[in-house]
Amino acid sequence: MLLWAGFACCASPGCYNSICMFRKVLIANRGEIAVRVIRTLREMGIGSVAVYSDPDRTSLHVRMADEAERLGPGPSAESYLRIDRILDAARKHGAEAIHPGYGFLSENADFAAACEDAGIVFIGPSAASIRAMGSKTAARRTAIAAGAPVVPGTDQPVTLAELRAFAATHGYPVLLKAVAGGGGKGMRRVDSEDELESAFRNASSEAERAFRSAEIYVEKLIERPRHIEIQLLGDQHGNMVHLGERECSIQRRHQKVIEECPSPLVALYPEMRREMGEAAIRAARAAGYYNAGTVEFLVDQDRRFYFLEMNTRLQVEHPVTELVTGLDLVRHQVNIAAGERLPFTQEEIAWRGSAIECRIYAEDPYNDFLPYPGKITRLRRPLGPGVRIDGCIYEGWVVPMEYDPLLAKLTVWADTREHASERLIRALGEYDVAGIRTNIAFFRQILEDPEFRAGHLHTGFIDEFFARRVPCEAPPDFATVAVLVAALHTARNKADAAPVASAASRWLEAGRGDLLR
């Protein structure tokens, strides 16, 4: 009988022929991804343990979990990045495994190794694989060794002098990137020699704050590329498959905001899916990879693709893959971590229909996407066929200032991309979040844009979108409209009661009317 350290044996006859499952899993994260993981654990009959910082004491993931443990005050360095406190919480609550979600410690090799040393299963790849692929420069070297095409760049962190030499050889523009980075942090475009020093200094500083590593490397910038990624699943027995691609080209400040599966480009050239999938698997195998992971590619205007990096974790945008393939990636992550084999081969994977996801942020798209924390005074979620929401908010909850302002992910599925776009526009029209500003109205403008509907996507799409049209003002909050209506009504009643209205009151009434409109 096969028993794995820290696993619970079900003591049933079937246990002799299959790996026993965990009884309890701690989620070392917060927000919507913690809620997402808790839901699958509950379906699997596995207990969940949430961890939280002081600002997250009343968060939805804490309320939904079976158990919860405080980590510390608001700053991530004193809570969600404290490996010692997370492991202590796992021991205290008897969790046999830890799911890292995305962000925070999800791609931290030291955390994965610390879990292993503590006898707790890390639901993700090995520490060695994270080191091989989590570092962007190490990942480039691994991809090159595996025969995957890469963008011209450096395979080591660079000094300012080395950066100047690279730019002189390859020409501008170039792209500075954090070695330990992700999510657009520590990334800067440089178009000329005059910008180089300040860009290098700012990118290093931002990388240090975000990842505790100021190391920067450089790549030749590909103009107007598409960002297309391949989802992988591999077990600990050497089996690995790809689950197709996701188009992630709609980005602001180098961070994805709209994702879809399949890519409208790959849908026109299906051989790209096979070629990119094979390249991604080669790179992952070279790193001894298992569990869920994503290999990201840049695609130029001639459809040539280049290895960009590998995310050694579950991606924010995984719901679009789940809707098109019908697979629960979190469930497979847990099963793989428990030692199970993949239950399907590459030939058995099928893609059906089209899915599009919008990341709903507390931010102002019409003011450089600045975060907009505050109290949610009203929440109405869209419903209907093919609509999925992965969220962490509720009425009365205060969006904290300490963390990423992601509120939810609205994802829809339909039989075609055109129908999915129409369904998403309808769903966005039903989505009502009051008390703060969000990007919901902005997404409707993007989805109605002819260039988006035609599938003409690239990473600079949003900048060009703003350049070719004047964005509409965000719709006013309902409470603000109610106050204006009441004020206008009062003014009109006073005007009716008075025999002659003064010139000042007529101007005031006209102004209120304009504001209301």
Give 253-267 pLDDT, tens digit per residue.
Answer: 889 999 999 999 999
Same domain? For 67 and 17 the reply is yes
Give the model's pLDDT for residue 488: 58
Say which amino acid occupies 445: Q
The answer to whether the beta carbons of residues 299 and 225 sit under 8 Å apart is yes
Q: Is residue 106 part of a domain?
A: yes
Determine how β-strand 24-27 pairs with β-strand 174-178.
unpaired
Same domain? For 109 and 22 the reply is yes
The continuous run of DSSP H or E covering 35 comes out as: helix 31-43
**Rounded to a whole number, what is the distance in angstroms from the first to the last CA of the chain?**
73
Residue 155: predicted pLDDT: 85
Residue 501: its pLDDT value, please?
41
Kindly indicate the confidence band of residue 180, based on its pLDDT and cuts at 50, 70 and 90.
confident
pLDDT at 14: 33
pLDDT tens for each residue of 366-402 = 999 999 999 999 999 999 999 999 999 999 999 999 9
* Domain end marker among 220, 237, 261: 220
Task: Report whether pLDDT(115) > 70.
Answer: yes
pLDDT of residue 182: 72
- Answer with the one of 81, 107, 123 that is the final residue of a domain: 123
Asked if residue 18 is part of any domain, the answer here is yes
At residue 337, the 3 state secondary structure works out as helix
Same domain membership, residue 101 and residue 20: yes
Q: Considering the domain boundaries, does residue 71 fall inside one?
A: yes
Q: What is the CATH number of the domain that holds 45?
A: 3.40.50.20
Does 251 map to a domain? no
Instruction: Looking at the structure, tell me whether residues 38 and 118 fall in a common domain.
Output: yes
What is the structure's pLDDT at 18? 44
Could you give the CA distance from residue 314 to residue 333 in angstroms, rounded to a whole number? 9
pLDDT level of residue 6 (50, 70, 90 thresholds): very low
Task: Copy the structure tokens of residue 436.
Answer: 């703060």
What burial letters (b/e) apply to 415-430, b meaning 16+ CB within 10 Å? eebeebbbbbbebbee
Report the DSSP pairing between strands 97-99 and 24-27: parallel
The helix/strand/coil state of 447 is: helix
DSSP class of 21: P
Over 70: is that where the pLDDT of 82 sits?
yes
Whether residue 38 is found in the same domain as residue 114: yes
Q: Which residue has the higher pLDDT, 156 or 91?
A: 91
CATH number at residue 186: 3.30.1490.20
Confidence band for 363, pLDDT divided at 50, 70 and 90? very high
Q: Which of 220, 248, 274 is the last residue of a domain?
A: 220
State the pLDDT at residue 136.
82
Instruction: Find, among 357, 352, 401, the residue nearest to 375 by Cα.
Output: 401
Each residue of 286-296: pLDDT tens digit?
999 999 999 99
Q: How confident is the model at residue 457 (pLDDT cuts 50, 70, 90)?
A: very high
Tell me, yes or no, whether 187 and 92 share the same domain. Answer: no
pLDDT-derived band at 428 (thresholds 50, 70, 90) equals very high
Q: What total number of domains does the chain contain?
A: 3
Task: Decide if 278 is inside a domain.
Answer: no
In a shared domain, residues 118 and 158: no
Q: Does an H or E element contain 421, and which?
A: helix 417-430
> CA 265 → CA 230, 261, 382, distances in Å?
14, 11, 29
Q: Are 175 and 215 in a shared domain? A: yes
| In contact, 245 and 266? CB cutoff 8 Å | yes
pLDDT above 60: residue 504: no
Q: Which residues pair with 390 in a beta bridge?
A: 409
Active site residues: 313
pTM score, whole prediction: 0.84
Residue 40 lies in a domain: yes
Same domain, 113 and 161: no
pLDDT in tens, 395-421: 999 999 999 999 999 999 999 999 999
- Looking at residue 516, its pLDDT comes to 45
Measured distance CA(140)–CA(148) in Å, rounded: 9
Q: Which of 227-231, 487-491, 494-498 has the lowest mean pLDDT?
A: 494-498
pLDDT at 104 over 80: yes
Do both 28 and 118 map to the same domain? Answer: yes
How confident is residue 485, by pLDDT bands cut at 50, 70 and 90? low
Residues sharing a CB contact under 8 Å with residue 28, sequence separation 6 or more, in sequence order: 51, 80, 86, 98, 99, 100, 101, 104, 105, 106, 111
- Within a domain: 102: yes
- In this model, does residue 515 exceed pLDDT 90? no
Residue pair 16/1 in contact by the 8 Å Cβ criterion: yes
- Residue among 360, 354, 352 at smallest CA distance from 420: 354
* 23 vs 3: CA distance, rounded Å: 14
Q: pLDDT digit string (tens) for 305-339?
A: 999 999 999 999 999 999 999 999 999 999 999 99
Domain that holds residue 485: 478-516
Asked if residue 294 belongs to a domain, the reply is no
The dihedral region occupied by 441, where left means phi > 0, alpha psi between -120 and 50, and beta the remainder, is alpha
Nearest of 221, 189, 220 to residue 202 by alpha carbon: 189
Q: Are residues 106 and 24 in the same domain?
A: yes
Residues 113 and 159 in one domain: no
Label residue 517 by pLDDT band (50, 70, 90). Answer: very low
Distance CA 95, CA 219 (A): 42
pLDDT tier at 470, thresholds 50, 70, 90: low
- Checking if the pLDDT of 452 tops 90, the result is yes
Q: What is the pLDDT of residue 78?
A: 97
